[in-house]
């Protein structure tokens, strides 16, 4: 697997390194090298997270490391440790693949941690990224010293069909590409048929770019591939307990934080016991948000994360 580095840049005020990888479609089972950004604290920033050496952030479906940039800068300064934001496979600047299971995405992140020689890491994952970091924490081949803390933002390890909203988004994005629209406003007009919320549409349209050859708009993520992968995104690679008296296939006993959006149904009374079965040391906090806890209430999100890391 040959991947090229397009650029590496630094921002003086808050040393931030970005690696962008060429879009390449693979069917290999080997881990993919993920695009990432690194945000380093200043030497004068107070070290809050004394038990962790770095935070590694995994975004959700249709997201990218770009969505976390502002918060990552604040976390580097507020926590005093390096922050790495990743692009998952088939997202952002990372390579494309016809395969997209949680086991594969967890392997991608594990490979990144090994390449960066990171240990005592706090993994933070939102939505799909939450399942990725949970799957990695439960991986029996992961060295014990790799993780210090685990944070799943509005996602449980429960299996289930992907929500109808995300299915509609994906189908609409495929349609937009097939229509060969000429502008962002045309794409937004089509998205309005399935999503009335402007911030959600703006989030989805962060993936839109102009094709230099045809001049039409396209998505930088492989939307047709994602449409075929949606079933896998509803699954989880480890088996739950068979009954109330049995244990799940794997358990991670390290400190785990589940952040629930009060107005979201992804973490609920039905799957909370499963969260505790896989992660016995878990703590639950609820923020007055929908599914995007970290972007709707970034200050409160950081406060909860800081309190969790300080213990």
Whether the CB-CB separation of 236 and 135 falls below 8 Å is answered with yes
List pLDDT tens digits, range 104-154. 999 999 999 999 999 999 999 999 999 999 999 999 999 999 999 999 999
191 and 302 housed in the same domain: no
Question: Closest Cα to residue 306, out of 97, 46, 107?
Answer: 46
- Is residue 304 predicted with pLDDT exceeding 70? yes
- Is residue 3 predicted with pLDDT exceeding 60? no
Q: What average pLDDT does range 263-274 have in this prediction?
A: 96
List pLDDT tens digits, range 35-62. 999 999 988 777 887 789 999 999 999 9
Residue 19 lies in a domain: no
81 and 144 housed in the same domain: yes
Q: Report the CATH number at residue 60.
A: 3.40.50.1820
Whether the CB-CB separation of 149 and 309 falls below 8 Å is answered with yes
Whether the CB-CB separation of 1 and 32 falls below 8 Å is answered with yes
Q: Give the residues across from 191 on adjacent strands.
A: none
Residue finishing a domain among 184, 215, 231: 231
Residue 161, pLDDT score: 86
Residue 128 lies in a domain: yes
74 and 126 housed in the same domain: yes
List pLDDT tens digits, range 164-195. 899 999 999 999 999 999 999 999 999 999 99
240 and 227 housed in the same domain: no
What total number of domains does the chain contain?
A: 2
Residue 153 lies in a domain: yes
Question: Closest Cα to residue 222, out of 100, 129, 101?
Answer: 100
21 confidence band (pLDDT: 50, 70, 90): very low
Residue 31 lies in a domain: no
70 and 201 housed in the same domain: no
256 and 177 housed in the same domain: no
Residue 29, pLDDT score: 74
189 and 282 housed in the same domain: no
Residue 259, pLDDT score: 99
Residue 48, pLDDT score: 81
123 and 217 housed in the same domain: no
Q: Give the residues across from 18 on adjacent strands.
A: 37
Phi, psi angle pair for 107, to nearest 5°: -65, -40
Cα–Cα–Cα angle for 112, 140, 76, rounded to 5 degrees: 35
* Residue ranges in 192-233 assigned as alpha helix (H): 198-205, 223-233
Q: Give the residues across from 5 on adjacent strands.
A: 21
List pLDDT tens digits, range 22-39. 444 444 578 999 999 999
Q: What's the mean per-residue pLDDT of the chain?
A: 90
Q: What average pLDDT does range 70-83 have in this prediction?
A: 96
Residue 96 lies in a domain: yes
Residue 20, pLDDT score: 46
Asked whether the CA dihedral 252, 253, 259, 264 is positive or negative, the reply is positive
Three-state SS string over 104-154 comes to HHHHHHHHHHHHCCCCCEEEEEECHHHHHHHHHHCCCCCCCCCEEEEEEEC
Residue 13, pLDDT score: 29
Spatial neighbors of 208 by CB under 8 A, at least 6 apart, are 184, 187, 217, 218, 219, 220
Residue 8 lies in a domain: no
Whether the CB-CB separation of 176 and 216 falls below 8 Å is answered with no
172 and 261 housed in the same domain: no
Residue finishing a domain among 212, 231, 250: 231
Residue 28, pLDDT score: 54
Give 73 or 25, the one with higher predicted confidence: 73
Residue 20 lies in a domain: no
Phi, psi angle pair for 277, to nearest 5°: -65, -45
Residue 189, pLDDT score: 97
132 and 241 housed in the same domain: yes
Burial degree of 193 (CB within 10 A; 0-12, 13-18, 19+): exposed
Residue 238, pLDDT score: 97
50 and 142 housed in the same domain: yes
> Which residues form the domain of 224?
164-231
| Token pair in block for residue 13 | 């005020």
162 confidence band (pLDDT: 50, 70, 90): confident
Residue 127 lies in a domain: yes
Residue finishing a domain among 231, 252, 269: 231
121 and 257 housed in the same domain: yes
């Amino acid at each position: 697997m040959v991947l090229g580095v397009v650029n590496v840049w630094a921002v003086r005020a808050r040393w931030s390194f970005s690696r962008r990888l060429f879009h390449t479609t693979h069917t290999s089972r080997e881990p993919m090298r993920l695009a990432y950004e690194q945000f380093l604290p200043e030497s004068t920033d107070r070290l809050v997270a004394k038990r962790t050496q770095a935070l590694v952030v995994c975004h959700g479906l249709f997201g990218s490391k770009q969505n976390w940039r502002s918060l990552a800068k604040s976390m580097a300064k507020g926590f005093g440790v390096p922050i790495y934001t990743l692009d998952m496979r088939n997202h952002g600047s990372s390579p494309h693949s016809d395969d997209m299971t949680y086991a594969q995405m967890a392997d991608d992140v594990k490979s990144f941690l090994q390449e960066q020689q990171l240990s005592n890491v706090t993994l933070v994952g939102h939505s799909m990224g939450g399942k990725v970091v949970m799957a990695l924490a439960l991986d029996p081949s992961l060295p014990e010293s790799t993780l210090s803390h685990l944070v799943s933002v509005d996602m449980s390890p429960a299996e289930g069909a992907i929500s109808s909203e995300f299915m509609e988004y994906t189908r609409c994005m495929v349609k937009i590409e097939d229509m060969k629209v000429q502008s962002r406003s045309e794409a937004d007009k089509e998205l309005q048929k399935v999503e009335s919320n402007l911030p959600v549409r703006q989030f989805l349209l962060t993936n839109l770019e102009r094709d230099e050859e045809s001049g039409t708009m396209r998505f930088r993520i492989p939307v047709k591939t994602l449409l075929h992968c949606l079933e896998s995104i509803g699954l989880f690679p480890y088996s739950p307990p068979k009954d109330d008296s049995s244990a799940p296939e794997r358990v991670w006993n390290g400190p785990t934080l589940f952040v629930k959006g009060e107005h979201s149904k992804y973490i609920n009374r039905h799957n909370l016991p499963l969260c505790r079965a896989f992660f016995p040391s878990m703590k639950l906090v609820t923020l007055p948000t929908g599914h995007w806890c970290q972007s709707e209430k970034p200050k409160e999100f950081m406060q909860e994360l800081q309190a969790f890391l300080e213990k």
